[in-house]
Chain A
Amino acid sequence: MSAHQESSSAAGQRHRHEGPKNHYLSYIVSIILTMLAFAAVIYGDLNRAFLLWFLVILALAQVIFQLAYWMHMKDRGHTYPILFLAMGFVTALTAVAAAVYWMWW
């Protein structure tokens, strides 16, 4: 009985979960993007506006990777989670834009 359970669940996983490869990949991508961001600030001799946007883009890229793989958002049945987080993000971005507009202009 237990041998049957093991073999059936092992066979089931093979086509349901792709294994840890993507998670390790996502970790390596996150490390690389993080190191790139730190290096750009510490060693980079870049134009200030360009550097700020570069940092934002690196952060967004890393977050998208983590949401997709580590939080399984790329998997099926994640329409509502994507909707919830996107609404939260739009509201958060509105708050940031409003605060920046009021304080800096």
Chain B
Amino acid sequence: MSTAHHAAGALPHEPEKATLEGKNKILGFWFFLGGETVLFGTLFATFIALRNQVPEGPTAQELFNLSTVALSTFILLTSSLTSVLATMALHRHKLNALLGWMAVTVLFGLAFLGLEIYEFTEYVSEGHTFTSSAFSTSFYTLVGFHGGHVLFGVIWITLLILQGMKKGLTVVTAPKFYVAGLYWHFIDVVWVFIFTVVYLMGKVG
């Protein structure tokens, strides 16, 4: 256990909730996630309403390749596990394990993004561009917005790792790590609905 990183004396067992500020950050973050739920809900609503409006360009059934989607799903699911392992390391005050699991999470996030970029370029080459149909526009808006969230998470967590290396684990830095973990899980939760509603239901028709 890296007691050298403790700011002043022993850290409490759940350092992210040790101060009122930390508690408020977590509560406020849940409120933000409630708003994010509405945001993605409206994007899903638009997509579900328009998913069969394909006057030109390929349809969902012709387009989607389920093995790529299964691989993306597996990557993101595993990254959600590694981010919960980071939160467990946080509760055990193990800074190196926390930063290590966060770094693994970032790597999985980058792999997911790379796969999504590859997928989108494939689609564009098959005539599925942003403006080709109402289906394609709502598809890229929904899935791209999720990808944007992954990108934001990758940048955010990378910066947190750098800050953690500099400042260590304190009651000030702990809520940041905890909240970033919640964000990453939320991204995975949204992806569960995306692979179900967009890809699997798209294949079903």
On A, residues with C-beta under 8 Å from B are 2, 5-6, 8-9, 12-13, 16-17, 20, 23-24, 27, 30-31, 34, 37-38, 41-42, 48, 51-52, 55-56, 58-59, 62-63, 66-67, 69-71, 80-81, 84-85, 87-89, 91-93, 95-96, 98-100, 102-104
Contact = CB atoms under 8 A, between A and B. Distances in A.
B77 A27 contact: yes
B185 interface: yes
B41 A56 contact: no
Contacts of A85: 30, 33-34, 37
B66 A42 contact: yes
B19 to A, nearest CB: 15
Which residue among A23, A58, A70 has the maximum number of chain B CB atoms within 10 Å of its CB? A70
B56 interface: no
A84 B33 contact: yes
Contacts of B35: 88
Main secondary structure of the interface of A (DSSP, over half): helix
Contact of A41 (B45, B74, B203): B203
B85 A20 contact: yes
Interface residues of B, number: 55
A67 B190 CA distance: 11
Contacts of B185: 66-67, 70-71
B13 A16 contact: yes
A40 B73 CA distance: 16
B84 interface: yes
B200 A37 contact: yes
Given A9-B11, A63-B193, A70 B49 contact: no
Contacts of B10: 5, 8-9
A89 B40 CA distance: 10
